[in-house]
A and B are shown apart, each in its own frame.
Chain A
Amino acid sequence: MSTEQLSARPDGVRRLENVVIRFAGDSGDGMQLTGDRFGAQAAAIGNDVATLPNYPAEIRAPAGTVAGVSSYQLHIADHDITTPGDQPDVLVAMNPAALRANVTELRPGGVIITDTDAFTALGLEKAGYESDPLTDGSLDAYQLHAINLTGFAAAAVADHNLKRKDAARTKNMFALGLVSWMFSQPIEDTAAYLRKRFAAKPDVQAANISALRAGWIYGETTEAFASVYEVKPAPLPAGTYRHMKGNKGIAYGLVAAAHQAAMPLFLGAYPITPASEVLHELSALASFDVRSFQAEDEIAAIGAAIGASFAGMLGVTVTSGPGMALKAEALGLAVIMELPLVVVNVQRGGPSTGLPTKTEQSDLLQALYGRHGEAPLPVIAVRSPADGFAAAVEAARIALTYRTPVILLSDSYIANGSEPWRVPELDELPSLGIDLATEPNGVDAEGNPIFLPYARDPKTLARPLAIPGTPGLTHRIGGLEKADGTGAVSYDPDNHDLMIRTRQAKIDGIDVPPLEVDDPDGPPGSGADVLVVGWGSTWGPIGEACRMVRAQGLKVAQAHLTHIAPLPANVASVLSEYHTVLVPEMNLGQLAGHLRRETLIDTVGYNVTRGMPFRSSELASVITRVIAGIADEDGTGTVDGRALGDVAARLAAKTDAGANKRDATLEAGR
């Protein structure tokens, strides 16, 4: 939404094509809930919605400090969008720290709504303000609405028998009511939600609903804002839709896959941010024969999943990077035992504990190569929150069809972000049932029928699965090299070489759809000169950036990889049709290296690891520069005019600025 649009005339409802709103406050202020509800309201009136929650790693960072700020950004639009938006148009800042941490990203001319109650001397000091920004003129470039949100909320809930502190806590619902009014969103769904959520605490329930309504009424009666805005429904394909988060989508995709395979789903998991939510979702679905098991550690989690798979379940484990490292040995076992298994890695900033609540794409090489021995396995990546479901079904399809562990890569942005998702009809889902072995499939030297666990399907090279309880097919599998066919322990050199190549050939032969190119100017070779290739959660920002670039009259093509191992068969031929292939990644060039290894094609990288998704505008300017032939020579990205690859210069700049002066943006834990 443009500045002019926000400086609206006081003549009723203004229509917007899209708007970006960020709710920010202390971690204890309930911003995630507020944002989540606003998104649900927008989705319910048919807007396209993309969200970006952002919160500190600590459960309770010091209250009132910049480090303790939690935020939730939403992009709502009357058209198809794929990103949570680059810059907020509206910032709701519940305290000085939230203002300080976020205001620099607000669009000039944007709207700020703050809670004056929090702008005390102490509050300002904790946030590091030397003077009060509400009065010192530093916010003159914005439309500031300083309102005593806490005071009004407390007054609205005065009848509800709450302690002073609890009454003040309803300020987030007051703010939500106010912003809902501002954007013409009905609040009835949220009232219904609060009724359910606080069913056990009638006072809290009633107070929150009162505060929500009071916020709405405040907006309506005080004429605090010059105008009311409205974002019309987006023209989505017909169907049933719901608001879907990435983690939940993956959980549901796994449940659907087990349903389609007519197998129970078994999850072995150990809690880890940002993957635990998948464990939580699945733990609540015992009624769908989901067997969820919280193991004693990451190794036991995958061990139990492999055991369950051997016993005839669809075995799954979910984790994040550090957990993947611990599972590596067991993954190798699953590779040699050739059992179906889905391993979900919801990536976060690494190495080590890194940035546990922030996003990154830096586990790709770990997924592809992070095991000892020749241990190939398929790797596929989720591209957006609404894609979690389909990607999980695809991971299960490959695992079951080819009897192999599959790594499904998601990331923190996808995990917590949400989008409208079209609920598939069941008959749209693939049938994933597999034939378990019930009869011997070979004969021994004496001609007696025997079971050969390492015989192969000639087409897929998959081995037969016989589960315990099947008479006559008893067999042992394990980590020692298997003899082809019989699966007996074999130290034979030729057999080992054959088995290594067979396992590789099985993965290489997986049926993967071809890479598709999106280029309105023509197919590869006759359209754009520059192709932008991405994987995982960069899909949205890259797509948005390409549309921005095309709007300037330039040509650019986009292709996105869901299957990274094996790559689609046409990758090399597609890439070679372009003068330049740009690969933006939230890592230092992991896909680029993989592509080079597999295709011998050199790409231009744009690599930034700041724990946040790319901004489309940033990528659009990179693409524009690449088209103009002035690509970042070292291929390591620039942000805000800083060349990120020049480490020496960056270190020197920090020293110049004073070693003790803290970088506020880093402090904010963005």
Chain B
Amino acid sequence: MSEVNEASGAKADEPAGGSARRAPTVADFTTGAEARWCPGCGDHAILSTMRGLLPALGVAPENTVVVSGIGCSSRLPYYLDTYGIHSIHGRAPSFATGISINRPDLSVWVVTGDGDALSIGGNHLIHALRRNVNLKILLFNNHIYGLTKGQHSPTSKVGTVSPSSPHGSLDNPFNPIALALGAGATFVARTLDSDRRHLTATLTAAAAHQGAALVEIRQGCPTFTPIPRQPRGSAAPAPETDNPAAPEQGPIRLSPGLPIVFGTNEQWGVIRDPSTGELAIGHGGDSRVVVHDPGIQNSTYAYALARLAETSLAEPPIGVYRSVTQPSFDQLFQERLATARPGGRGELRSLLTGVDSWEVAAS
């Protein structure tokens, strides 16, 4: 294995795909398999974005590995012409960890869903995040179990009526962003399947991050949980209301270095109470409007942002909540190996013989 360029995940000594080869294209990342999701499923849009995005990252298809668990979202690896594993329910981060920490020359992606990552696989998700394994984890959140026909999931709102909760679900949902931040994730973002530009920008930022990147992709499941949203490109602007939580205000878009304002006329903003440090919704013109900074090491701010939707907003903010630099587990793992064998592999026979052996002569 040759040395790798950590930033791109590509080999440093040759351009992506080998010096003799042209730059990869969308076609190079596309398999012949026909995507088998319901018509209108958000997964189609995410797949198409991924196909457009991967060639631009400069990593050859053979140096890209996509690992998934079980669920609608987890079919995605079959449609990307890279190396891939469609593994078992909830465990994708563990397979991906075994690949990534041993092969720093590879760009390793995990594709998972809300049931896969947050229910059966919760343990693996939080440990991949706390270790800061160099994985790009795409959590397709459709708030439901799609593949098993519509049961409520760990992100379903309380009261969700489903085949397994005919009188409404009783359990509190996870907030994936808050969970990831609590696990110490170094890159946490949220985006939408329906906003290709935002999705592309967010995934590009995740790909560039060194360490674990958790991207929650709010995904529409027209079959079980259609997300009510503005028809795209509709001519009539949404009427201005005096309710910041009204869906037509759209989600808050977080942009590094810019004040967090939203609403059809940016009439709303996120303000910080200087005495408590807590975040709240105020007026866009307020001098206390927060300027977004995902680079703050202390995750209290990002956590407060993540929780805004639970009290004050119809939809949680989208964008990068946190992006901080910490050594990745992969890097530490490889460094440990390198320092353990400065002169190459140890001599096996001397290991086997040990220090307390004795000779028995032929009799």
Residues of A whose CB lies within 8 Å of any CB of B are: 40, 43-44, 46, 189, 233, 235-243, 252, 255-256, 259, 264, 266, 268, 285-289, 291, 293, 295-297, 299-313, 315, 329-330, 332-333, 337, 423-426, 468-480, 488-489
Determine whether B283 belongs to the interface, using a CB cutoff of 8 Å to chain A.
no
Report yes or no: A242 in contact with B357, Cβ–Cβ below 8 A.
yes
Determine whether B346 belongs to the interface, using a CB cutoff of 8 Å to chain A.
yes
Shortest Cβ distance from residue A389 to the other chain B in the assembled complex, whole angstroms? 8
- Residue of A46, A296, A332, A424 touching B124 (CB-CB under 8 A): A296
Among residues 52 to 106 in chain B, which have CB atoms less than 8 Å away from a CB atom of chain A? Answer: 60-63, 65, 67-68, 70, 77-78, 81-88, 91, 93-103, 105-106
Report yes or no: B127 in contact with A300, Cβ–Cβ below 8 A.
yes
Q: Complex Cα distance A266/B93, Å?
A: 17
Report yes or no: A288 in contact with B98, Cβ–Cβ below 8 A.
no
Given A259-B348, A264-B102, A288-B348, CB of A307 within 8 Å of CB of B357: no
Contacts of A259 in B (CB 8 A): 345, 348
Contacts of B357 in A (CB 8 A): 240-242, 423
- Of listed A287, A315, A337, residue having the most chain B CB within 10 A: A287
Report yes or no: A471 in contact with B84, Cβ–Cβ below 8 A.
no
Q: Complex Cα distance A166/B294, Å?
A: 55
Report yes or no: A252 in contact with B124, Cβ–Cβ below 8 A.
no
- Known: A238-B362, A288-B341; 6 extra A-B contacts, CB below 8 A, are A233-B360, A238-B361, A240-B360, A423-B357, A469-B63, A478-B68
Contacts of A310 in B (CB 8 A): 83, 85, 95, 98-99
Which chain A residue shows the least CB distance to B89? A329
Determine whether B356 belongs to the interface, using a CB cutoff of 8 Å to chain A.
yes
Report yes or no: B102 in contact with A240, Cβ–Cβ below 8 A.
no
Shortest Cβ distance from residue B344 to the other chain A in the assembled complex, whole angstroms? 9
A–B Cβ pairs within 8 angstroms, 28 of them: A189-B356, A233-B360, A239-B359, A240-B358, A243-B356, A285-B351, A286-B336, A286-B341, A287-B340, A287-B346, A288-B348, A291-B333, A295-B94, A306-B95, A307-B97, A307-B99, A309-B98, A311-B65, A311-B106, A313-B98, A315-B98, A333-B88, A423-B357, A468-B62, A471-B21, A472-B62, A475-B84, A478-B87
Determine whether B275 belongs to the interface, using a CB cutoff of 8 Å to chain A.
no
Report yes or no: B356 in contact with A476, Cβ–Cβ below 8 A.
no
Report yes or no: B101 in contact with A293, Cβ–Cβ below 8 A.
yes
Which chain A residue shows the least CB distance to B97? A304
Determine whether B18 belongs to the interface, using a CB cutoff of 8 Å to chain A.
yes
Q: Complex Cα distance A471/B95, Å?
A: 22
Q: Complex Cα distance A189/B86, Å?
A: 54
Residues of B whose CB lies within 8 Å of any CB of A are: 1, 17-18, 21, 31, 33, 60-63, 65, 67-68, 70, 77-78, 81-88, 91, 93-103, 105-106, 123-124, 127, 333, 336-337, 340-341, 345-346, 348-349, 351-354, 356-363
- Of listed A303, A333, A337, A423, residue having the most chain B CB within 10 A: A303
Report yes or no: B33 in contact with A235, Cβ–Cβ below 8 A.
no
Q: Complex Cα distance A296/B121, Å?
A: 12
Shortest Cβ distance from residue B5 to the other chain A in the assembled complex, whole angstroms? 14
- Residue of B78, B86, B105, B349 touching A426 (CB-CB under 8 A): B349
- Residue of A44, A293, A470 touching B98 (CB-CB under 8 A): A293
- Residue of B67, B95, B336, B345 touching A288 (CB-CB under 8 A): B345
Q: Complex Cα distance A425/B348, Å?
A: 10
Q: Complex Cα distance A402/B345, Å?
A: 27
Report yes or no: A296 in contact with B127, Cβ–Cβ below 8 A.
yes
Given A43-B358, A303-B98, A308-B99, CB of A255 within 8 Å of CB of B348: yes
Report yes or no: B98 in contact with A474, Cβ–Cβ below 8 A.
no
The binding surface of chain A is classed by DSSP as mixed
Contacts of A312 in B (CB 8 A): 102-103
Contacts of A46 in B (CB 8 A): 358, 360
Which chain A residue shows the least CB distance to B338? A286
Shortest Cβ distance from residue A329 to the other chain B in the assembled complex, whole angstroms? 5
- Residue of A291, A330, A474 touching B101 (CB-CB under 8 A): A291
Report yes or no: A240 in contact with B353, Cβ–Cβ below 8 A.
yes
Report yes or no: A474 in contact with B99, Cβ–Cβ below 8 A.
no
Q: Complex Cα distance A332/B99, Å?
A: 19
Please name the 4 residue pairs, one residue from A and one from B, whose CB atoms are nearest each other, closest first: A307-B98, A478-B86, A303-B94, A286-B340
Contacts of A287 in B (CB 8 A): 340-341, 345-346
Shortest Cβ distance from residue B169 to the other chain A in the assembled complex, whole angstroms? 26
Contacts of B87 in A (CB 8 A): 303, 333, 478-479
Report yes or no: A304 in contact with B98, Cβ–Cβ below 8 A.
yes
Given A307-B94, A479-B86, CB of A266 within 8 Å of CB of B102: yes
Given A286-B337, A423-B352, A468-B65, CB of A307 within 8 Å of CB of B17: no
Shortest Cβ distance from residue B15 to the other chain A in the assembled complex, whole angstroms? 13
Given A44-B358, A476-B86, CB of A300 within 8 Å of CB of B91: yes
Q: Complex Cα distance A474/B66, Å?
A: 11
Q: Complex Cα distance A252/B357, Å?
A: 15
Which chain B residue shows the least CB distance to A284? B340
Report yes or no: A468 in contact with B78, Cβ–Cβ below 8 A.
no
- Residue of B17, B106, B333, B337 touching A468 (CB-CB under 8 A): B106
Contacts of B105 in A (CB 8 A): 469
Which chain B residue shows the least CB distance to A242? B357
Contacts of A478 in B (CB 8 A): 68, 77-78, 84-87
